[in-house]
Amino acid sequence: MKAFVKLITLIVLFSLVVSCGGPPATTVAPPPPTTKPGDTPVPPTEVPLSANEQWAKDNGLGIYQPATDDWAAIEAAAVKEGSICVYANSSKITKLQAPWEALYPGIKWDCGDTDSIDVKMRAEQEAGNVVGDVWFNSDGHILYGEFVPNQWLWSFVPRDVVEPEVTPEFPFAIARHAIDVWGYNMEINPEGCPLTNWWNLTEPALEGKVYIEDPMTDVSTMAKWATVAEHGDEMAAAYKALYGVEWTTDPAAATDAFGQTVINAGWLWIKKMAQNHPTVVDEIDIAYASVGMDPAVEPGIGWTGWNSIEDTEAGDIVMAPCLDLNPATGIVKTSYLAVANMAPHPNAAKLFIKLALSPDGYKPWDTKGTWSAEPSMAVPEGLPSFEEMMAKSWLMNPIYDWEWAAKVRDFWAISLLTPSE
């Protein structure tokens, strides 16, 4: 009996120990390794290219341009494409048709349109119906401000062309620089330019006698006025040099009835120019109108390219450029070359850019007031070097001009409505 009681006691004690200790522990196996020893780690997934980027890559444009250009292969592909269409903002583009056809008789010269390039190319890109292959235009603010962000244009610079101005930030080939200046009638003013200072253009003596393209519709002119706004400090110094007081003392510097604030002396010049009622003239007529050779207008001052002097040398007009004005001789614009996104003839476009950057391609523009971006190109006799001209001129800044041109246009429009002080 005693043995039986001891056995029962042991069983009870054992049960108590088990119940107090809880369930027995379990071991969880670690997850299997995702890679075996020695395996190569899986790289992160690449961001897929956009359709435009893939097209540029397939055609060797932009950052996808090969380190060397296989011109034999490019030409063979261009012959298969069959033609080329260049959109250029210079009527001289027609002078490149003959050298093109001599070099590439199997590739038809299809077009060289000179009207509203940005409007045409924008519409073509948005419609997905691209006609123009090449952008050959000086509206750098539209190129860098709108077309590049939308991937509507791609750069191509032949590897054997030396262009020191091409950078990762500004990758497009540059055909040339040209300067716009104020021109005058040298028969009426035989002693030289009647101006000494840009502020003379805002004075009553020249009311209605300053001839310009319409800044409200011509994007190039408005971008140039944005360049004036950018150089407010120089315009302020020129104001003081002419009038002996600070520009801020000018009555037009005050906030006007429309609430417009004059930011700096450059903006003041824009306002006073508008209030002086310049005459709007078509581009091809400015050089003639400015010197009074258009019987419908009085002689005055015209905003035109220095290369209009060619017409003077030919005996067609009597215009001369004002080259010693305070604070700047003029405003330098840049002509860029680019390939249209989804261009139907991308290889022909490459051949055209190669031609345009060659001595033969530059020849139609090799005149006073124009400089090639290629260092090897000789400067015409009697013309200062580009560096010398830039020391007293303003080079258009495409990024700044894109940011401010629309604001300047609105400012100009309202200033036209406000009476002069």
Domain ranges of the chain: 52-177+333-385, 178-332+402-415
Q: Is the pLDDT of residue 286 over 80?
A: no
Q: What is the CATH number of domain 178-332+402-415?
A: 3.40.190.10
Contact between 318 and 186 under an 8 Å Cβ cutoff? The reply is yes
Query: 89-98, 177-186, 304-313, 369-378 — which is least confidently predicted?
Result: 304-313
pLDDT at res. 40: 52
At 297, the pLDDT band (50, 70, 90 cuts) reads low
- pLDDT tens-digit profile of 273-282? 999 999 888 7
pLDDT at res. 29: 43
pLDDT mean over 283-309: 72
Dihedral-angle region of residue 297 (phi above 0 means left; psi in -120 to 50 means alpha; beta otherwise) = beta
Distance CA 308, CA 349 (A): 29
11 compared with 141, residue with greater pLDDT: 141
Distance CA 178, CA 354 (A): 20
23 compared with 61, residue with greater pLDDT: 61
At 115, the pLDDT band (50, 70, 90 cuts) reads confident
What is the pairing mode between strands 331-340 and 370-372? unpaired
Cα first-last separation, the chain: 130
pLDDT mean over 5-19: 37
pLDDT at res. 24: 39
Angle at 370 between CA 366 and CA 375, to 5 degrees: 80
Angle at 203 between CA 200 and CA 207, to 5 degrees: 115
CB contact set of 282 (below 8 Å; sequence gap of 6+): 213
- pLDDT tens-digit profile of 213-223? 888 888 889 99
Query: 113-127, 135-149, 324-338 — which is least confidently predicted?
Result: 113-127
Angle between helices 219-230 and 232-243 (to 10 degrees): 70
Place of tokens 């002419």: 242
Q: What is the CATH number of domain 52-177+333-385?
A: 3.40.190.10
At 386, the pLDDT band (50, 70, 90 cuts) reads confident
Place of tokens 């260092």: 375
pLDDT at res. 13: 34
DSSP 47-106: PPPPHHHHHHHHTT-GGG--SS--HHHHHHHHHHH-EEEEEESSGGGGGGHHHHHHH-TT
Distance CA 111, CA 123 (A): 17
Mean pLDDT of the chain: 86
Distance CA 280, CA 285 (A): 10
Dihedral-angle region of residue 291 (phi above 0 means left; psi in -120 to 50 means alpha; beta otherwise) = alpha
Domains 52-177+333-385 and 178-332+402-415 agree in fold: yes
Distance CA 63, CA 350 (A): 15
Which of 265, 221, 225 lies closest to 243 in space, CA to CA?
Answer: 265
pLDDT at res. 28: 42
At 11, the pLDDT band (50, 70, 90 cuts) reads very low
